[in-house]
Structure 1
Amino acid sequence: MKIRLIVFYLYSGMCFCQISDTINRAYVAVQNYDIDPLTIKKVEVTNISDYVGSYHFGESEGESDLEIIYSNDRLFARIEYSDWENDTWVAKSVRQSIEYSNGVVSIDKAFYELYKCTETSYLTLNQGVKGLGSSYVEEEEGKICRYVQFNPNTSIIIPKGQYPEASFVKLSVDDLEQYTKSDLKIIRNEIYARSGYVFREGGTMNRYFLKQQWYKTVEKRNEINLSEIEEYNVNLILKIEQNQ
């Protein structure tokens, strides 16, 4: 019995030392912007759609925005950033792999949970604002430091329609294999419809999109300009349609 008590006391002492030597820290986007860790709290119950939004990372030349949308039971993510090319800044967009499981999202092998501001702090971090939180532990001068990086969620413009992902990221064959030929035709033409394309009067696509409240036509067809992402997806979908 005495041995057991001694072991218990030693174990308790070790736990106490570990807790007392642990420092909790939090910051916004980069370590230069510290916040009180007590002002953010992990959201215990989440839905997959709660992660939709735009999240800012980094500062200065290392700035980027992680944008996430939810469509057709899936999350789609991309990184928006600027790169210096030929003496000018060029806007770029790169798709990121993203998975959701049990309240955690995995983005390009990094894990994030949903956090919420419990009180107003650090400039525009208002109470109730939600964001991505990633945590890690480091040892500093013999003490354990637990860091939480908080990236607040800002508004995001989601492309209109039933398949917004076709104007958001470059799709893959795997993304599209679940759809029928009729579905693919709608996905492809929805890309044009978002830009106000005027379909042949009385045609199938004309009748379909006139029923969509968001659909607005432009006067001249030659004013339609597709993005690089949209052109890529149109060509990919055409190839798949031809092989079906």
Structure 2
Amino acid sequence: MKKIILLLLLSSYYGNTFGQIWTAEANVDKSNLSPWIVDQIDEYEGAYFYGESEAESELTISIAGDLIIAQLENGEWNIENEEVIGWISNYINYTNVKIEGNKFYSDETNGEFVIYLHDNKSIKCLKMNNPPVQMSNDGEFELGPFSNDVLNKRNDGEFFQTKFEIIDYDHLNSLSLGELIIMRNEIYARYGYIFSKNGAMALYFENQEWYNGVYKNIDSFLTAIEKRNLINIQKIEKEKQK
């Protein structure tokens, strides 16, 4: 019975994330693929979805000036005594990421941004040559359908833009010291960092519906954009504390 409940939970969870299409190479008519060309590289910024069910993963591309970030999120169910406690996300930052034309490059995988004509609909995708979880035969590509809804996501904190933008000095300086502290710690909280028990940040974030503390150290999850924001925020905090 518990196994059946788990399968139902998996179906419910993933059925609400993104309308997946089966896009492994064997299922794609390559004549329906064409290059996705943009005027500004920022148009590729957003999330791309791969796999299905518990093998689903999300690749988020963030672009801030000369910084191009590709971060993969996947995870697993946290099960204790055959009961589902929750979902634990894991994050991997791709290295040496470049976008040239509609081509995507990184140390982990290469690919290209394409338009996939499917059921008379044009779907923007990132064709990944080495998907995070191989859903078909080894060596086959997979298409990751694109969504930019993540850019406007507001249910993961008050200052979610720190994931996609380098927050400028004037804006940081306009915030109160308390707001700066929340902004800085939100970067950690979104990755499930466990704050000191009964501390101000623990009490604050435990009252946020989106927060789930699971990690004692999330340093490896932080992107170059987030690290730069952390440095800038801390600098303004120190100035306001004088």
Length-normalised TM-score, structure 2: 0.49
Higher strand residue share: 1
Length-normalised TM-score, structure 1: 0.48
Quick check: which has more Rg, 1 or 2? Answer: 1
